[in-house]
């Protein structure tokens, strides 16, 4: 469905290209909202390149209808949120009414009003019990009638011309609700190490393409403890667009994201909007690999401080298993993820160093070699890891591999950093070289 901008072609060819793209009756129903936005942008470009003709009038009308169609999709999404909001309001009211009547059944308050509690004819102990009960009930069942009955007004979008920007969905605050039963709240398992992946209740969400909706989800999950102002998102993801264009793109990205996250069995709203800010629904049960990674590392550090070395090593191993690749390896050129990528890489290399030290002390040399190879795969110039490999090879009587490792680190330091090996690395090389010579001399004498 992609329509390419015309390059030095006639009006007839440009019109034919646009006309052919719109010839399928259900073409709009089969494309995503972002693809529809791209289609409308290309149609607008082609329309501007045409001279005045009946076909240009038809293309202008098609462009206007396409904009209305996209806006209507956003309206549908908005009304679905309103329906879910009213439904959850109703569930909350039912629960509160049930609580009230249960309390009425067991409280049996005095018949007279509280204004007459001081009357000597009443039972003081009964009045005190009722007063205490009332004090405990009020904060639990009190509901703001204005909040409950406040139904936002809805004004349908109005287009003055085909050039008018697609209007933003209504900015009515979407109140967040918590599900009464924990099993009703969806679960999301999110993976940032290596390729970004999201699982909803154990099922991979494969509708997240390489789009702004996907980037938006990454950003919202990483910042899910706070609400992100709409303007911040517009500036971060569409810095080169004007305000109307950026807002339209944000609306479409949020719409696509909600559609991708929503399951067929539930209308749960994952992305909420309130007071001009977007945020992740706090009712979601979210597990993020980077956070679990850091939890294992912190637990290992606490155990290590208490001298529970073996238990600490197990925590470090669990953390290392989670680090499949760099943080958001698919977004190496995005500035906003660079700082976090370096942060997690530093932690990973540090914990691998702890594992290396432990394995070396326990004479688990094969495991030590494997760990240090992981270190230099991330930090090629880590001399300590190269030296540890040389030491392991030497202890395994594989001095030729130790000497080869020295040549490797020398080449890496020269090529990547224009440096020479440190004195410590050179000294280790000379020691292993001398041991190799001595070993050869002993073999020759024996022979």
**Residue that terminates a domain, selected from 259, 283, 307:** 283
In this predicted model, what pLDDT tens digit does every residue of 39-89 receive, in sequence order? Answer: 766 777 777 777 777 777 777 777 777 767 766 766 676 666 667 667 766
126 is a domain residue:
no
406 is a domain residue:
yes
Task: Return the residue matching tokens 């390729």.
Answer: 195
Query: For residue 173, is pLDDT > 50?
Result: no
Q: Is 348 found in the same domain as 407?
A: yes
Alpha carbons 444 and 447: distance in angstroms, whole number = 5
Diameter over CA atoms, the chain? 119
Q: Is 216 found in the same domain as 340?
A: no
Whole-angstrom Cα Rg for the chain? 33
Query: For residue 167, is pLDDT > 80?
Result: no
In this predicted model, what pLDDT tens digit does every residue of 103-133 receive, in sequence order? Answer: 677 655 544 444 444 444 444 555 555 555 5
Q: Is 99 found in the same domain as 8?
A: yes
* Segments forming the whole domain that contains residue 203: 185-283
How many structural domains is the chain composed of?
3
Residue with the larger pLDDT of the pair 83 and 350? 350
353 is a domain residue:
yes
Alpha carbons 84 and 269: distance in angstroms, whole number = 8
Helices (H), 186-326: 212-222, 230-237, 243-261, 289-305, 309-322
Residue 1's Cβ-count burial label (10 Å; 0-12, 13-18, 19+) is middle
Question: 339 vs 106, 325, 328, 345, 442, CA distance in Å?
Answer: 59, 16, 11, 10, 54
In this predicted model, what pLDDT tens digit does every residue of 227-257 receive, in sequence order? Answer: 999 999 999 999 999 998 899 999 989 988 9
Can you give the pTM of this predicted structure?
A: 0.63
Q: Is 202 found in the same domain as 331?
A: no
362 is a domain residue:
yes
And the tokens for 302? 């606490």
And the tokens for 10? 């006639």
125 is a domain residue:
no
Alpha carbons 46 and 23: distance in angstroms, whole number = 16
**Residue that terminates a domain, selected from 283, 301, 329:** 283
150 is a domain residue:
no
Q: What are phi and psi of 111, to 5 degrees?
A: -70, -30
CATH of the domain at 239: 1.10.10.10
Chain centroid to CA 242: 26
In this predicted model, what pLDDT tens digit does every residue of 184-210 receive, in sequence order? Answer: 678 999 999 998 999 999 999 987 776
Q: Is 230 found in the same domain as 306?
A: no
Query: For residue 5, is pLDDT > 60?
Result: no
Q: Average of pLDDT values for 301-307? A: 95
124 is a domain residue:
no
Return the C-alpha torsion angle 357, 360, 361, 363, nearest 10. Answer: 160
Alpha carbons 219 and 121: distance in angstroms, whole number = 66
Q: Is 301 found in the same domain as 263?
A: no
3-state secondary structure of 280: strand
Cβ proximity of 117 and 97 under 8 Å: no
And the tokens for 217? 């989800």
């Amino acid at each position: 469905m992609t329509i390419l901008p015309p390059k030095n072609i006639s009006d007839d060819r440009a019109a034919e290209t646009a006309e052919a793209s719109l010839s399928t009756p259900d073409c709009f129903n089969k494309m995503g909202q972002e693809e529809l936005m791209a289609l409308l942008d290309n149609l607008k470009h082609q329309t501007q390149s045409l001279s005045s003709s009946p076909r240009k009038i038809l293309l202008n009308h098609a462009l206007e209808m396409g904009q209305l169609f996209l806006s209507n999709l956003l309206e549908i999404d908005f009304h679905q949120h309103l329906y879910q909001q009213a439904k959850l309001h109703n569930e909350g009211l039912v629960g509160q009414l049930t609580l009230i009547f249960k309390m009425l059944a067991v409280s049996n308050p005095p018949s007279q009003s509280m204004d007459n509690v001081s009357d000597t004819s009443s039972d003081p102990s009964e009045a005190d019990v009722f007063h205490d009960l009332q004090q405990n009930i009020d904060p639990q069942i009190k509901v703001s009638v204005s909040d409950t009955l406040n139904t936002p007004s809805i004004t349908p979008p109005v287009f003055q011309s085909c050039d008018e920007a697609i209007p933003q969905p209504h900015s009515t605050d979407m109140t967040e609700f918590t599900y009464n039963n924990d099993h009703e709240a969806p679960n999301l398992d999110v993976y940032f190490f290596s390729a970004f992946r999201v699982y909803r209740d154990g099922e991979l969400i494969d509708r997240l393409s390489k789009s702004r909706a996907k980037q938006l989800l990454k950003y919202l999950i990483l910042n899910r403890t706070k609400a992100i102002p709409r303007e911040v998102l517009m500036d971060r993801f569409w810095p080169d667009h004007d305000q109307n264009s950026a807002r339209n793109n944000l609306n479409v990205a949020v719409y696509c994201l909600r559609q991708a996250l929503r399951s067929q069995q539930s209308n749960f709203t994952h992305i909420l909007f309130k007071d001009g800010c977007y945020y992740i629904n706090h009712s979601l049960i979210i597990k993020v690999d980077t956070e679990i990674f850091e939890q294992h590392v912190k637990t290992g550090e606490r155990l290590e401080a208490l001298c529970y070395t073996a238990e600490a090593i197990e925590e470090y191993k669990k953390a290392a298993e989670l680090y499949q690749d760099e943080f958001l390896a698919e977004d190496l050129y995005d500035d906003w993820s660079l700082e976090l990528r370096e942060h997690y890489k530093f932690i990973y290399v540090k914990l691998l160093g702890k594992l290396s030290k432990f394995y070396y002390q326990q004479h688990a040399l094969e495991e030590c070699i494997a760990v240090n190879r992981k270190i230099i795969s991330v930090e090629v110039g880590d001399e300590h890891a190269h030296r540890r490999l040389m030491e392991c090879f030497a202890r395994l009587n594989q001095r030729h591999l130790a000497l080869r490792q020295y040549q490797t680190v020398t080449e890496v330091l020269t090529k990547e950093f224009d440096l020479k090996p440190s004195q410590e690395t050179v000294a280790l090389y000379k020691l292993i070289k001398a041991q190799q010579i001595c070993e050869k001399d002993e073999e020759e004498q024996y022979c």
